[in-house]
Amino acid sequence: MAILSTPLQYLNSVPPVTRAFTACTVAASSVYLWIQWTSVVTGPAVVPYLTLVPGASLFYPWTFATSALVEISIIELVVSLLVVPASLRYFERLWGSIETLKFILVCTTLPNVIAFAFNWIEFVATRNADIFLYGMQYHGQMALFTGLLVAFTQIIPEHQVQILGVIRARVKTLPMVYLTFSTVMTFIGFQCPYILIQFGWFVSWIYLRFYKRNGGDSVGGVDTYGDRSETFALVSWFPPFVHTPISLLGNTVHKVASRFHLIPTSVPTDLESGGYSQLPGGARAEAERRRALALKALDQRIANSSTSSPSQGGPSSANPSSSSRPSPSVPAPESKASLADEVDVADGASSDGDARR
C-alpha cells in the first residue's frame, strides 16, 4: 500500500482538465494504434473518424477537435505525454480549469479548421484530390504545443531553459525556433501535420492577446481580456527590419476588427500611439518583466562599483580626509535603494497576481 500511495497521490494532485485530457489522449491513440496493428496485413489504414482527413471530415465533424487526441506512433505519443500534461498542469493552476479548457479547444480546433480550408483551396487550385483531400490526415498536439510555448513566452519570456543538458535558450525564442522548423518541413513536402505549428502559433497569440479572460483582474467591476503589453505585440516576434509594415498591417486589421466589435474591449486601447495600452490582464507578466530589468540594472551597477573600488583604494589611503567624500564613479545609495524598491514593487505585483489567480 505504501508503494501505491505515491502514484495515487500524484494523480490526485493533477488538476481535472489536465488529467482528463491526458487520459483521452492515451485512449484515442491506443485505439488508433490497435487499428493500425490489426490492419498490418492489408497495409496502413486511414481512419477518417479519428484523424482529420479534409475530404471526409465533413462527414465526421467531431474530428476537428478530437484529432488532436490521436498520435499515430509510439514516439509521438511518448513525447506528447512527457511535454503537454506537465505544461497544462502549470497553466491550469495559474488560469483555472475553465480557461485552460478554452485554451485547449481554441489551440486544437481552430488550427484544424484553417488546415481544412487551406487543403480545399489547394485542391481547387490543383484539382489533385488524392493528395490534398485524401492523402493527408492531420493529427496530434503540435498546434497545442506551439500554443503552450506562446503562453510561456507571455508569462516568463526571460526564463532560460536547458535542452538535452547542452543547449540553453530563453523561453521567448522557442516559439520562433519551432515555427522555423515547421516552415522548413512544410517547404520540403511535409505539409501534414507540420503546418499545424504555424496555424497554432497564430491562433494562440490572437487568443492570448485579445480574447483570454483574465480571472480576478477587473477595472471598475468590468472583466478584462488579453494582454495588450508592448512586449507581447505582434512585432515582437519578428526582426526589426519588418516591424514597420507589420505594425501598419496589424493596426489596420485591429481597427477593422474593433469597428465590427470582433474584439472584446473593457479598457480603451491607444492606437494613436502606434500600439496597444496595457490591460490589467497582463499585470503579472509585466511585473515579471519589470523585475527582470530592475535586477539586471542593479547587478550592472553593483558590478561597476566593485570594479571601480580598487582604483580608489590608493588615493583614499594616502589622503584620509578624502574617504569621507563619495566617489563620483560609485552610484549613490539612493539609486540602489530606488532600484531595490522597484524590484520589491514588481515582486509585490507578481505575488498579488498569483494570489488573485
In a domain, 190, yes or no: yes
In the beta sheet, which residues pair with residue 222? 219
Domain presence at residue 20: yes
Residue 192 lies in a domain: yes
- Enter the DSSP assignment of 324: G
Which 3 state secondary structure label does DSSP give 162?
strand
pLDDT of residue 97: 92
DSSP string, 68-82: GG--SSHHHHHHHHH
Domain that holds residue 81: 12-211
d(Cα 68, Cα 298) in Å, to the nearest integer?
46
290 lies in a domain?
no
Question: Structural domain tally of the chain?
Answer: 1
Tens of pLDDT, residue by residue, the chain (357 residues): 444 456 677 677 889 999 999 999 999 999 999 988 887 655 566 788 999 999 999 999 999 999 999 999 999 999 999 999 999 999 999 999 999 999 999 999 999 999 999 999 999 999 999 989 998 999 999 999 999 999 999 998 888 887 766 778 888 889 999 999 999 999 998 999 899 999 999 999 999 999 998 865 555 556 788 888 888 888 888 888 888 899 899 889 988 988 888 888 654 444 333 444 444 344 555 566 666 667 777 777 787 777 665 545 444 444 444 444 444 444 444 444 444 454 454 455 444 444 444
In a domain, 170, yes or no: yes
Residue in 236, 231, 336, 237 with CA at minimum distance from that of residue 287: 231
Asked whether residue 312 is domain-assigned, the answer is no
The CATH number for 101's domain is 1.20.1540.10
pLDDT value, residue 41: 55
Amino acid letter, residue 117: A
Q: What is the pTM of this model?
A: 0.72
**Cα pseudo-dihedral 235, 152, 255, 230, rounded to 10:** -50
pLDDT of res. 286: 55
Strands in the chain per DSSP E: 160-163, 167-170, 213-219, 222-225
> Residue 246 falls within a domain, yes or no?
no
In a domain, 158, yes or no: yes
